Structure 1
Amino acid sequence: MDVRKEVESHLDEILMHLKTLVSYNSVMGEAEEGYPFGRVPADCLNKALEICNSYGFKTVNLDNYVGYAEMGEGEGLIGILGHLDVVPAGEGWKTDPFNMEIIDGIAYGRGTTDDKGAVVASMIAMKIVKDLNIPLTKRIRLIMGINEENGSRCLAHYVEKEGHIDMGFTPDGCFPGVHGEKGMIRANFKSKNTKIINIQGGVASNVVCNKCIIQVMKNSFSQKVLEDYFNDHNITYAFNVIGDVVEIEARGVAAHASTPKLGVNAISHLLVGLKHAGFQDDFTDFYNEKIGTTIDGSLMGAACKDEYGTLTFNVGVISMIDDVIEGTIDIRFPVTLTVKQIVEKMTPNLETTGGFVEILSTHEPLYFPIDSPLVTKLLKAYQEVTGDIESKPITMGGGTYAKGINNCIAFGCELLGVDNHIHDANEFVSIDALVMQTEIYVNAIIKLLEN
């Protein structure tokens, strides 16, 4: 059987199912009895299970946390892990984000790539493998969660109920595979020792802050020096005087916390600029001494790298409530290092008179040697379909389901060098890419079925 032609024969189904799933605004909602992540994500999950059931797969819903569709027999379990929840649509769309529209061979809509498109490609790949009459000596299970974007409690619930898999992948990264995901440390900083009247900035801990507003006494710094600093660093700014108080707005460039070099942090430049302009303040001194505008954690003693990458450090959100300043820190550290090593490097620098840093949560890295059986099987599946033998599996700063279950790596769905606007307006997937990834997943399942 020509697998590509078989995939193409299912293209109308793929697009129909994807349009259906995209129509659900499956952002995490308010929890209620029987719906831990809200009703709409659960409805989207049940629709996906209904589609899978129509193909003859065994389907199970685990308490509206997560569901799965399964085929095959045997003790061995191959897992494919995708998610049906999405991030908020936000502004700037040229189409309705929840009414998938195809323009010039490109399907636009929230979740078309992350991760509903990959889920549909995976379920069709399973159907094609079934139709090929390949002996299914292992169970193949498509696991679909609805809380990946907000902590992956869905996957934790799955592992608690069903255990781990023997081998598998999550189509929530890029081709030709992700053999390492950086470790993560989430922290915050706090301070009461400040002359700042108010400060607010950022939308999420895992995003480089692109807007920050601060209020200070108007005679507490040199406006000319601060303006020069902003101009020298390409920071858009505005001043608004309210009596004896001046409100300063600084704007930077947003980026994902795992790639802070692609952004410009408005919080950091505002506080560093104020210090440069003569603002005398314990918290501002603390920020400049321990964070500054660095994105490698060097001022906190955390800077490090391995052969796969460097540590990244991002301040995402800052606020002032009841005279207390609090902000978030997102650290992604190299795949061959450990949480203990990074924390030990940081410990001497966690507190000064102007503020302190508190570690909230940690996650060890995920790392598979590039020549491990799982990585090599999936790489071969990609190469046989695409003919691309130059591209190699990568490591990345982002985190996927692979960190929450054994023997799994991210494999697809994005192609290297293609920006599908994930988490941004006008998210899309090309029809050609959908066909290609489905064919790759057919080949990947066949490879994982081999002993």
Structure 2
Amino acid sequence: MEVRERVEKHLDEILTHLKTLVSYDSTMGQSEEGYPFGKVPAACLNKALEIASSYGFKTVNLDNYIGYAEMGEGNQVIGILGHLDVVPAGEGWNTDPFDMVIKDGKAYGRGTTDDKGAVVASMIAMQIVKEMSVPLTKRVRLIMGTNEENGSKCLAHYVEKEGHIDMGFTPDGCFPGVHGEKGMVRGQFYSKATKIHDIQGGVASNVVCNKCTVIVDKNSFSTKILEDYFNDNGIEYTITDGTDTVTIEARGIAAHASMPSLGRNAISHLLVGLKKAGFQDPFTDFYNERIGVTTDGSLLGANCEDEYGDLTFNVGVIAKEDGVISGTIDIRFPVTMTVKQIVDKMTPNLETDGGFVKILQTHEPLYFPIDSPLVTKLLEAYQEVTGDMDSKPLTMGGGTYAKGINNCIAFGCEMQDVDNHIHDANEFISIEALVVQTEIYVNAIIKLLEN
């Protein structure tokens, strides 16, 4: 029986399991004893382990941080690393984001692509390998985390408890493989020097903000200039007069922070629009001088590029609390550069009278030569299933589990040039893509077992 036929025999199971996992709103919750990232991510993990156990896999839950399903024997571990947590649903959905709906050959729901669909596809791929009686001379371990979207503390816990893997992949990038991941600098900007009464926007630091609301004094800006700016830049808006204040809501377009140019940042356009409309405010001046609507970090002096790509810059969340405005900064920098190089470029520009930027977290890039054994084996697995001999492994701005564990690259689950709306409204995975990625993962597991 061909692998494709085997996958199709399991398709109803794949869709049933995916619908079950999508039903959990597994965004990061309140930490409490026994539930490091909240009760719902833990419940989703335990459901995934229950499903895996039904296939006869050995299952282990590591303190509700992360768990794994395993088959095979031997000293070496082949790791497949997926995550069950998701970013907040946000607005703009045509369906309930946590009730998977199939329409026109596509399954819609938060996590269908990133990354619950890939977890289910990998689990069924393991089952098919077992059905094929492939010699399991190594342990194949599907590792399922619950904090990838908010720092991957789950994977750090896994490495502390279980150590690194000998080889493997995370189905959380795109085919035919990702041999480099940009480095990251995460920071926060702060300001007390402001006339803004309130400002709130964004759902996550790694998502381009698609809605922001600000309250300012009446007659502190030109309404016509602001409206003209919004109209010229494709920003939907509402302006509501109060007794002494005006509430402005700007609506942009969400996108993943690794590709901010695909979105339209509501925070940035609102603050740039206010500045152009004559609003006099130290924080707004700071934002325009150091951030603006740029997505390359140029106003902080961080812009740079190498042969694999350029630096990206995103502001994801902003809020005013206790008189202080703060907002998140997400920078992804080229794979051949270092954290020190980027920080040194920005350091002279991090502070003005109206605000300052504090660097909170950094990660060096991940880079495997394109002809390295792991990249080569996984590329062969992709080529043999798809017949695509032209596409080459690439680098990307998104960060995956591969940065937190040895001997791992991102491999799938997205196809190049397909926008599955991850981190956006109406996220989906096509049924055909689910079938193909499962088939590829079967081939990948077999090749790594032979390695």
Q: TM-score range by the shorter chain?
A: over 0.9
Structure 1 residues 220 and 110, CA gap change in structure 2 (3 angstroms): closer
Paired with 1:250 and 1:103, the residues of 2 have a C-alpha distance of 31
Alignment of 1:41-440 (within 5 A): 41-440=41-440
Q: Is the 8 A contact 2:87 2:204 kept in 1?
A: no
- 1:334-380 CA distance string (max 9 Å, x none): 11111110000000111122211111111111111211111111011
Matches of 1:112 and 1:285 in 2, distance apart?
41
Could you list the runs of 5+ residues in structure 1 that have no partner in the other structure? none
- Offset at residue 87 of structure 1 (A): 3.2
Q: Which sits farther off after the overlay, 287-296 or 107-116?
A: 107-116
Aligned-partner Cα distance in 2 for 1:93–1:448: 39
Corresponding letter in the other structure for 2:83: H
Q: Residue 59 of structure 1: CA displacement? A: 1.8
Structure 2: runs of 5 or more not aligned = none
Amino acid at match of 1:12: D
Query: What do the CA deviations read for 1:111-157 (whole angstroms, capped 9, x no partner)?
Result: 33222221222122112222323222221111111222232221111
CA 9–213 in structure 1, closer or farther in 2 if over 3 Å, else same = closer
Secondary structure of the equivalent of 1:283? helix
| Residues 434 and 194 of structure 1: CA distance in aligned 2, closer, same or farther (over 3 Å) | closer
Q: Report what 2:441 is aligned to.
A: 441
CA distance 1:205–1:52, shift in 2 (3 Å): closer
CA distance in 2 between partners of 1:330 and 1:345 (Å): 16
TM-score by length of 2: 0.93
Alpha-carbon distance in structure 2 between the residues aligned to 1:202 and 1:89: 11
Amino acid across the alignment from 2:248: I
Residue aligned with 2:169, SS = strand
SS of 2:51's equivalent in the other structure is helix
**Cα distance, 1:94 vs. partner?**
4.5
Distance in 1 between the 2:237 and 2:109 partners?
33
Which stretch of structure 1 is more off in the superposition, 38-47 or 169-178?
A: 38-47
CA distance in 2, matches of 1:280, 1:97: 40
- Change in Cα spacing, 1:168 to 1:357, as seen in structure 2 (3 Å) is same
Label 1:353 to 1:443 Cα distance change in 2 as closer, same or farther (>3 A). Answer: same
Q: Structure 1 residue 98: deviation in Å?
A: 3.8
Q: Which one-letter code corresponds to 1:187 in the other structure? A: G
Letter in 1 for 2:258: S
Structure 1 residue 412: Cα displacement: 1.0
Partner of 2:28: 28
1:20 Cα offset (Å): 3.2
- Distance change >3 Å, CA 52–CA 436, structure 1 → 2: same
CA 1:278–1:21 in structure 2 vs 1: closer, same or farther (change >3 Å)? closer
**1:413 positional shift:** 1.2
Distance 1:426 1:251, change over 3 A: closer
Q: Is the 8 A contact 2:113 2:428 kept in 1?
A: yes
Cα 1:167–1:354 shift into 2, 3 Å? same
Separation in structure 1 between the aligned mates of residue 361 and residue 270 of structure 2, nearest angstrom: 27
Q: Conserved in 1, the CA contact under 8 Å of 2:311 and 2:334?
A: yes
In structure 2, distance between residues paired with 1:292 and 1:93: 28
Number of residue pairs matched by the alignment:
451
1:10 corresponds to: 10
3-state SS of paired residue (2:234): coil
- Structure 1 residues 330 and 369, CA gap change in structure 2 (3 angstroms): same
Distance change >3 Å, CA 35–CA 103, structure 1 → 2? same
Identity of aligned residues (%): 81
Distance apart, 1:92 and its partner CA: 4.6
Q: Structure 1: how far apart are the matches of 2:322 and 2:44?
A: 41
Report the counterpart of residue 40 of structure 2 in structure 1.
40
Seen in structure 2, the aligned counterparts of structure 1 residues 99 and 242 have a Cα distance that, compared at 3 Å, is closer
CA distance in 2, matches of 1:129, 1:442: 6
The Cα of 1:405 is off from its aligned counterpart by: 0.9
Change (3 A) 1:217 1:40: closer
Shift of 1:389: 0.8
Shift of 1:171: 0.9
Aligned-CA RMSD value: 2.2
Change (3 A) 1:162 1:258: same
Instruction: Report the TM-score when normalising by structure 1.
Output: 0.93
